[in-house]
A = this chain, B = another copy of it.
Amino acid sequence: MHFRFGFLSYEISHVIRQRFNKNAEIIGITHSQWRVLVHLSENPNCRQVDLADILDIKPITLVKQLDQLEARNLVRRIKDSDDRRVYRLELTANALPVMQKLWDIADRVEAEVLGALTPDEQALVIRLLCRVKGAICGKEPDMS
């Protein structure tokens, strides 16, 4: 018998992404852009290369997401005065109310998806997944 944890987590996160995207369509933000906004809000004033690392994507991938978010006036690139190669990233004032709406959507979708579990079970599964993520975060599997 095999575990199926991979399929389970994939299929559940897929449903969450789909529902988020559908609900956030009128705002014009995708789940991937949403990830950028949230992680940026938690790491203000960071460089693009840092944010890409946090998001576990390549810098060039982040460039395009930022282009779109900047075009929507949600994010600003600010030239660093010490190192003129780098941009510092920050959310615009305009981003705050938009993110509030997106958090509402995200919370609602999650509540629906987790509806089959009691609040205690919800907290438990999140705690367990946090440990899983913490353990693999940044670490490659042992290839020896």
Tell me, in angstroms, the Cα distance from A111 to B138 when the chains sit together. Answer: 17
A49 to B9, CA, bound (A): 24
Q: Is A71 an interface residue (CB 8 A)?
A: no
Chain A residues 100 to 144 lying within 8 A of chain B, measured CB to CB, are 103, 106-107, 109-117, 121-122, 124-126, 128-136, 141-142
Distance of A128 Cα from B103 Cα, bound (Å)? 24
Rounded to whole Å, the gap between the CB of A11 and the closest CB of chain B is 6
Bound-state Cα–Cα, A132 to B12, Å? 8
CB-based contact A110/B14 at 8 Å:
no
Residues from chain B with Cβ under 8 Å of A129 in the complex: 5, 8-9, 12, 125
Let me know if A58 is at the binding interface, CB within 8 A: no
Instruction: Give the residues in chain B near A130, CB-CB below 8 Å.
Output: 8
Q: Is A92 at the interface (CB under 8 A from chain B)?
A: no
* B residues in contact with A19, CB < 8 Å: 141
CB distance from A36 to the nearest CB of B (A): 12
Contact sample, A vs B, 29 pairs, CB 8 Å cutoff: A2-B107, A3-B107, A4-B126, A5-B16, A5-B110, A5-B114, A5-B125, A5-B126, A6-B106, A6-B109, A8-B126, A9-B9, A9-B12, A10-B13, A10-B17, A10-B31, A11-B56, A12-B13, A12-B136, A109-B141, A112-B141, A112-B142, A113-B132, A115-B135, A116-B131, A116-B135, A117-B128, A124-B124, A125-B132
